[in-house]
Amino acid sequence: MSDSQWGNRGQNGPPDLDELFRRLNARIAGMFGGGKGAGPGGNGSGNAGAAGGAGLIIGVLATLWLASGFYVVDARERGVVLRFGKYHELTREGLNWHLPFPMETVEKVNLTEVRSVEIGYKGDTKNKAPEEAQMVTQDQNIIDVQLSIQYDIEDPVKFKFQNMMDGNRSESEVVKQVGEAAIREVVGRNKVDAVLNEGRLRIAADVKATVQEVLKRYQTGIRITQVNISNVQAPQQVLDAFDDATKAVQDREQRKSLGEAYRSKVVPEAEGEAAKLLAEAKGDRDAVIDRAKGDVARFMRVLPEYAKAPAVTRQRLYLDMMQQVLSNTSKVLVDQRNGGQMLYLPLDKMMNTATAPAATPVEPARTVVTPAAPAQDAARPDAGQPLREGR
């Protein structure tokens, strides 16, 4: 390039700045179709070539600028599109496009990432933060509570632009402050025994509900997924006393469980025994009643026959009773009609011998001499009977 292109200048002097600016303006005008002829020191064909190259460059730059608006949203994310810094739309997963910078920008928010904040400790439960952990219960006792709160993003628009929290704080600081206030409120409504022993799950549920309500009220777009109470214990200064109290409570529950187990064993046995005695008594009662009814029915059947033939009926009743009485006793048959000699027959042994094997010897009949029997009284019921059964 010759020095004439930069305007008139001396042998060693600086270029003419006015001429330089004038030529630059002419080239810019030519690129946008502003100039037809050649400027001083040039020709029309050179300007046309420069204009074509500049147009190509501008086209490439414009294409790259438009292509910069393409972006990909992951399945776990949502894209928040801002137009001149103001929320415009929410895009889902896949390939999307927005007006290139500086007109529109996009911010990606992960909805599935589970975030966590810790209250009362840092990193490890052994690394305690006393200023966060110490709390006062309803009955004016001080205890240390350590918990963690897990959360994710439910509404990316509210999370980014509509929440009413202080913009200088991150969402983790907001969740931590709300969680600390909630746990202090819930612990303050419960007594120390409930917090230390059986009330942990209920307290965790109450803290979760309270934190979620506050975050929803301030439109943070944050959802609480889980509240875990890591550790609850008394301060180190009174830990031994609290351990003794806890052991006493456990012993009480153990003894109560043993008592319940003993009661569960003894009571059913006693109820079963009582039911058995009642059933036996009912059976005896029914048997006595049935027997009495049977005796009455039998008496009512005998009564008309007795009215027709009293002697025969009385004799029959006598024989039946004697048969019933003598059925289980040993019997001897005695004949007193042979004048001084009495025939003795052991009937029970004879009956046993009859049912025994043939090799068993049979005791012979024995004759016993006795005084003569007096005359039989005809008026007796058994008068005229030749034989008598005796024991």
Q: What is the mean pLDDT of residues 279-294?
A: 94
Q: How many percent of the chain have pLDDT more than 90?
A: 22
CA torsion 270→272→273→274, rounded to 10°? 80
Q: What is the mean pLDDT of residues 95-115?
A: 86
- CB 171 within 8 Å of CB 222: yes
**Dist. CA 310–CA 298, nearest whole Å:** 16
**Dist. CA 252–CA 36, nearest whole Å:** 106
CA 375 to chain centre: 100
Burial class from Cβ neighbours inside 10 Å (0-12, 13-18, 19+) for residue 177 reads middle
**Dist. CA 194–CA 172, nearest whole Å:** 29
**Dist. CA 262–CA 320, nearest whole Å:** 57
| 152-182 residue pLDDT tens | 988 888 888 776 555 567 888 889 999 999 9
User: Which stretch of 25-29, 156-160, 300-304 has the lowest confidence by average pLDDT?
Assistant: 25-29
CATH for 115-232, options being 3.30.479.30, 3.40.640.10, 3.30.565.10, 3.30.230.80: 3.30.479.30
**Band of residue 191 on the pLDDT scale cut at 50, 70, 90:** confident
CA 350 to chain centre: 81
Q: What is the mean pLDDT of residues 255-283?
A: 93
**Dist. CA 311–CA 267, nearest whole Å:** 61
Contacts of residue 387, defined as CB under 8 A and 6 or more positions apart, other chains included, come to 333, 335
3-state secondary structure of 61: helix
**Dist. CA 174–CA 165, nearest whole Å:** 8
| 319-345 residue pLDDT tens | 888 888 877 777 666 666 666 555 666
**Dist. CA 224–CA 31, nearest whole Å:** 60
Backbone angles phi, psi at 294, to 5 degrees: -65, -40
Q: What is the mean pLDDT of the chain?
A: 76
pLDDT at 268: 92
Q: What is the mean pLDDT of residues 205-209?
A: 92
| 132-151 residue pLDDT tens | 888 888 888 888 899 999 99
**Dist. CA 317–CA 322, nearest whole Å:** 9
**Band of residue 49 on the pLDDT scale cut at 50, 70, 90:** low
- CB 99 within 8 Å of CB 113: no
Q: Where in the chain is the domain with CATH 3.30.479.30?
A: 115-232
Beta-sheet strand order (sheet of 366-369) = 366-369, 341-346, 332-338, 388-390
Helices (H), the chain: 17-31, 44-67, 130-133, 156-157, 171-188, 192-196, 200-217, 239-308, 310-326, 347-355
| The pairing of beta strand 77-83 with beta strand 86-91 | antiparallel
307's tokens: 């009215």
